[in-house]
Amino acid sequence: MVAYTAPLTDMRFVLTHLVDLDSIAALPGYEAATPDLVDAILEEAGKLGAEVLAPLNHSGDIEGCHYENGVVRCPQGFPDAYKQYVESGWNSLPFDPDYGGQGMPWAVAFAVQEIWQSANMAFALCPLLNQGAVELLTEHGSTEQKDLYLTKLISGEWTGTMDLTEPQAGSDLSAVRTKAIRVDGGYRVIGQKIYITHGEHDMSENIIHMVLARLPDAPDGTRGISLFLVPKFLVNPDGSLGVHNDLRCAGIEHKLGIKASPTAVMSYGDNGGATAFLIGEEHRGIEYMFTMMNNARLSVGLQGIAIAERAYQQACAYARDRVQSRDITAPKGERVSIIHHPDVRRMLMTMRAGTEAARALAYSAGSGLDVSKRHPDKVVRSEAQKRVDLLTPVVKAWSSDLGVEIASLGIQVHGGIGFVEETGAAQHYRDARIAPIYEGTNGIHANDLVFRKIGRDGGAAARTYFADLRRDTEALLTRPGDDAQVIGQALLHSLATLETATDWVAERTKTDPRAVAAGAAVFLRLFGLVAGGGMMVKSADRALGLQAAGQGDAAYLDAKLIVARFYAEHYLPQTAGLLDPMRTAHNTVMGLSEEQL
């Protein structure tokens, strides 16, 4: 297995020059996020990722989780690693200092989270879900609930889960059947949930489940669903643990990847009902749960980026070492490592360019979260939230699709040995494959983009975003040199295609929704390619500016320009071929009868 090294240089470049960490640190409450502190955070996170989490990635995949009589044991080394993670304070990074958090910006937390996901995605899924539970409780919990649960969830001593899915209710949450009943002024929950990530494990002393359930008098559909906090162990008023609640793990799934992360079947109420605590008001559970889901969706996009980075590092290392064939320019010369062969370089550059574009886009969304939460101007906060809402389905779906594609390319670089498990290249692909599925399949996110984010406001938020991309591109085009012109003009051409596509979507969402839905996934890919291109334009502009000022690492900045140009010449031209399939997909997508399929 190739050792993992956090890409700190690129992370710093993105945080400093693309999302403007100085401006984020100027927001109320973020004053502590100085460049020196952020550098120290990234350095220490890189050490934990490389020295503690990454060495457990392959062994955890081989061993998997163990289930016996309701008890789940994580692979060897995982509980100790989690203890070290908690004791070092990593779980508390972006959360409220009033409950023990460190109050760091989400843009910084995203960079740190990428390190955990690259080093060991199965391990990092536990804090990912806990992070969403903290956000949910912070936003919608009562004062009593916050006082009783938040401190331990923020520290990581307790972990949180998201309990939505049932055997008959996957993405269609209107079909949820788990029951909630009123008992003695409180609530009990009875039912079964499936696919609950870290629903049962041995890394924390308590697990706090966020459970969707339906009260007897609830209206039909999603409007009749309530949200309940259901702890594994009931918590006494002084914060100590009480008796085991009426819930159990009925089994764990055997999966393609992320085998070291227990995916649990949870059974509630075998003995009359699990004690539950209503979050917010009755019948508003879906609304509240979206706080947790949207948080998780951005993090799943980060998982795609993280796996892509890990696959790229491993492919590069293998390509440097694997000697095979002669350089095409010296057919009679010595045999060379495969990194000298143009097609291998093409694959490595494709991996790197896609990863860097997606990373910058995800961190940008993280900085938008910071502005939406902390900016003193209400209008600025609102506009930032609209931008985050627009980009969330793109970050989730485009980045997770890229993760799969790039992990697949990693196997291809290895050749036949990549298909063999011992190299670890196959594990990256298997682990990456879940990201386009959970937290809403990417098809659902494509529908969200076209119907909610474009159709609902007629494309207004998107056009504001496009204007910003055009402004950044025009700034790049004022720079001297061929690179600036090639990169800038490529984005302008692709942006024009996206604008045409957006107009079509905005016009058709109400008059021909089936046509829009048929092309939604193609539209999202088009949007993602352009959004990633926008970040590459910004990267090139900042790199050229630093070069002109004689600042920064010369070799890194030169590489940044080459990678940005590669993206412009290899990724952005794909957009030209997506417009027509998006607009005409409905002619054939639903063309065959069920019997003909």
Contact 69, 2 (CB under 8 A): no
User: If 0-12 CB within 10 Å is exposed, 13-18 middle and 19+ buried, where does residue 217 land?
Assistant: exposed
Residue in this structure with the two tokens 């004689």, named with its chain if needed:
550
Contact 181, 187 (CB under 8 A): yes
H or E stretch including 188? strand 186-197
Choosing from 421, 439, 499, 595, the catalytic residue is 439
User: Alpha helices, DSSP H only, in 375-519?
Assistant: 378-414, 425-432, 442-447, 460-477, 482-508, 513-518
Instruction: Identify the three-state secondary structure at position 275.
Output: strand
Active site residue 439: yes
Q: How far apart are CA 187 and CA 220, in angstroms?
A: 20
The identity of residue 142, as a single letter, is S
In Å, the largest CA–CA distance within the chain is 87
Nearest in space to 117 (alpha carbons), one of 264, 309, 255, 260: 309
Question: Which two three-digit tokens encode residue 325?
Answer: 């064939």
CB atoms within 10 A of CB 547: 17
Q: Which letter does DSSP use for residue 148 in this model?
A: I
Phi-psi region of 326 (alpha: psi -120 to 50; beta: other; left: phi over 0): beta
Q: Supply angle C-alpha 438, 444, 449, rounded to 5.
A: 125
Q: How far apart are CA 504 and CA 499, in angstroms?
A: 9
- Give the residue numbers marked as catalytic: 439
